Amino acid sequence: MRIPRVPRKNQCQGDRAFVLVIVLWMSAGLVTLALLFGQSMMLEYQAADNTWAGAQAAEAIEGAARYAMAVLTDWEEPGIVPEITAYLHQEVEVGDAMVWFLGRDPNAPSGSRTSVQPVFGLIDECSKLNLNTATVEMLKLLPRMTDELAAAIVDWRDEDDEVTENGAESNAYQLRSPAYACKNAEFETVEELCLLIGADWEILYGEDANLNGILDPNENDGNVSWPPDNQDGRLDPGILEYVTVYSREPNQRADSSARINITGDSSQEFQTLLQEKLGEERAAEIQVNLGSDLSSITSVLEVYIKSQMKEEEFAAIAGEISISDESYLPGLININTAPEAVLACIPGIGTAHAAAVVSYRQSNAGKLDSVAWLANVLDEAGAIAAGPYVTTRSYQYTADIAALGHEGKGYRRVRFVIDASEEEPVIRYRRDLTPAGWALGREIQNRWGAWKGENRVQQARQSL
Ligand SMILES: [Ca+2]
Ligand SMILES: [Ca+2]
Ligand SMILES: [Ca+2]
Ligand SMILES: [Ca+2]
């Protein structure tokens, strides 16, 4: 009996099936390769595109920094905070890129900063407390500040090695591993605070992990994402929000000559000034009110109070007089721009009157030409106590510039401090804050940010 042969047809079918499987395998492999190739091209395209967008954003930031310096150079009233309408500050197109100056609202009540959208503009460094001049008592009143850190700040900058109560000098820093010495000289940046005993991340940054002054989603979700926060719907920033090392006012008149030091040997000059600006009769009355001995006067605000001048009379001479011979007056706080938390640190204002100071200046905008207005909010003793610490002038500004390259990609952010207290504005500080993450709030993110970029990528992917 012959074993029936397997029908040829079937054998043929088997071969074909085998070939088909191979072909299918190969096709699948080719498709996979093509997909992988496409994907890798896509990734390369995306990477190159993002790099390009980042470069555009970085260039735009350089341009915006130069622009900010030009604004301060050209501003017609040096020492007066430029009006927000006097310069471009948000969604400024620079080629294919777009830049924003991240700002602050000085009138936002410190207890209820609920804003999730940033405000824009230059930030006044003279609205902050100067680490090189503030006393322990003033520092202690900052939100989150501890007695230890306040004292350590003063010990860090003072020349001696005598430990302030609760403070820390070299002895304490020598115990650290590795050891280092107490600086015993002025702070040059606010980041130097990180070296100090008692300074931890929470005190410095608080809930504002990206240092933009607004409540970002991760800053109000408890411990779900960094940083830790109390989820109360309000931003509780750290002390970096409120401190500076840059504020200083040239002790000069508008024509760059030295101001008249009324506590020194210049009574004749002062008298002539009063006569020129206010007439002989008023000058005589004012001199009677002031008395002949001005050596114990502690501020120009005290001159205003004791002389019983009118506010507009004082505004006419305030920029001409001083109680110091120094060429610069460091650390004065601009009462027109300081937030409530900083005003609360000023002797005579304190936590008791800081909110009243803010609400007075809000309802009297345009009438805040000199420090005289503070005497309308505080009693005489309070105003005299505050006098040595306050001004209405500012010469140093932060330009916190964020930028996006083409199609909302390539986010970058650099913070500059510009000092306009000398003949030409100079940059005193520069820090890349890109790693701190998105700082422009949700609305801009939705319009320009990653979301839009992602959409473009999807479109590009579909078209491949
Ligand atoms: Ca010291
Ligand atoms: Ca924030
Ligand atoms: Ca959080
Ligand atoms: Ca909070």
Contacts of 463 (CB under 8 A, 6+ apart): none
- Ligand 4 (ion): residues with CB under 5 Å are 207, 230, 232, 234, 236
Tokens of 236: 């509780």
Q: Which ligand is nearest to the CA of 156?
A: 1
CA-to-CA dists, residue 248 to 24, 115, 187, 333, angstroms: 77, 30, 14, 9
CA of 131 to the centre of ligand 3 (A): 28
Ligand having the closest approach to the CA of 221: 3
Nearest ligand to residue 225 Cα:
3
Q: How far is the CA of 402 from the centre of ligand 2 (A)?
A: 14
Ligand 2 centre to CA of 138 (Å) is 25
Distance 230 CA to ligand 4 centre (A): 5
Are 391 and 81 in contact, with CB atoms under 8 Å apart? no
pTM across the whole model: 0.88
- How many residues appear in the chain? 464
Interval between CA 437 and ligand 2 midpoint (Å) = 10
Predicted confidence at residue 461, as pLDDT, reads: 46
Tell me, in angstroms, the distance from the centre of ligand 1 to residue 73's CA: 37
Q: Rounded to the nearest whole angstrom, what is the distance from the C-alpha of residue 194 to the centroid of ligand 3?
A: 21
Can you read off the two tokens belonging to residue 113?
Answer: 């900063």
Taking the centre of ligand 2 as the mean of its atom positions, its distance from the CA of residue 206, in whole angstroms, is 10
Banded pLDDT at 116 (limits 50, 70, 90): confident
| 9 or 293, higher pLDDT | 293
CA of 346 to the centre of ligand 3 (A): 32
Distance 232 CA to ligand 4 centre (A): 5
Counting ligands in written order, the one closest to the CA of 232 is 4
Q: Closest ligand to 113 CA?
A: 4
Ligand 1 centroid distance, CA of 175 (Å): 16
What value does the mean pLDDT take over residues 364-368?
A: 93
Q: Express each pLDDT in 180-218 by its tens digit.
A: 999 999 999 999 999 999 999 999 999 999 999 999 999
Q: Give the tens place of pLDDT for each residue, 277-312.
A: 999 999 999 999 999 889 999 999 999 999 999 999
Distances (CA, A) of 414 to 72, 92, 101, 133, 433: 18, 16, 10, 27, 5
Query: Helix/strand/coil (H, E, C) string of 98-147?
Result: EEEEECCCCCCCHHHCCCCCCCECCEEHHHCEECCCCCHHHHHCCCCCCH
| Ligand with smallest separation from the Cα of 230 | 4
Q: Which of 28-37, 151-160, 182-191, 338-347 has the lowest mean pLDDT?
A: 28-37
Residue 109 has pLDDT above 80, yes or no: no
Could you tell me the CA-to-CA distances from 302 to 322, 414, 419 in Å, in that order?
A: 11, 41, 28
Q: Pick from 309, 333, 446: which is nearest to 390 by CA?
A: 333
Quote the strand ranges of 31-104, DSSP E.
92-94, 97-102
Give the Cα separation of 224 and 219 in Å (integer). 10
* Distance (Å) from CA 216 to ligand 2 centroid: 5
pLDDT value at residue 10: 54
451 vs 80: which has the higher pLDDT: 80
Output the CA 231–ligand 2 centroid distance in Å.
13
Closest CA to 81 of 355, 440, 396: 396
- Whole-number Å distance, alpha carbon 223 to ligand 3 midpoint, is 5
For residue 129, report the distance from its CA to the centre of ligand 2, in Å.
20
Does the pLDDT of residue 20 top 80, yes or no?
no
Ligand nearest to the CA of 144: 4
Residue 321 has pLDDT above 80, yes or no: yes
pLDDT digits 0-9 by tens, 324-333: 999 999 999 9
Distance 228 CA to ligand 3 centre (A): 4
Closest CA to 393 of 260, 266, 254: 254
Domains of the chain (ranges, CATH numbers):
84-247+394-435 (1.10.40.60), 252-334+346-391 (no CATH)
223-259 per-position pLDDT tens digit: 999 999 999 999 999 999 999 999 999 999 989 999 9
Q: What's the whole-number average pLDDT of the chain?
A: 91
Please name which ligand lies nearest the alpha carbon of 215.
2
**Ligand closest to CA 219:** 3
Amino acid 1: pLDDT: 47
pLDDT in tens, 37-82: 777 777 788 888 999 999 999 999 999 999 999 999 999 898 999 9
> What are the residues whose beta carbons fall under 8 Å from the beta carbon of 372, sequence distance 6 or more?
301, 304, 309, 311, 314, 315, 318
Q: Are 369 and 392 in contact (CB under 8 A)?
A: yes
Question: Where residue 459 falls among pLDDT bands split at 50, 70, 90?
Answer: very low
Preceding peptide of 178 cis, ω within 30°: yes
Pairing mode, strands 321-322 and 243-244: unpaired
Q: Are 242 and 206 contacting, i.e. CB atoms less than 8 angstroms apart?
A: no
> Rounded to whole angstroms, how far apart are CA atoms 350 and 440?
32
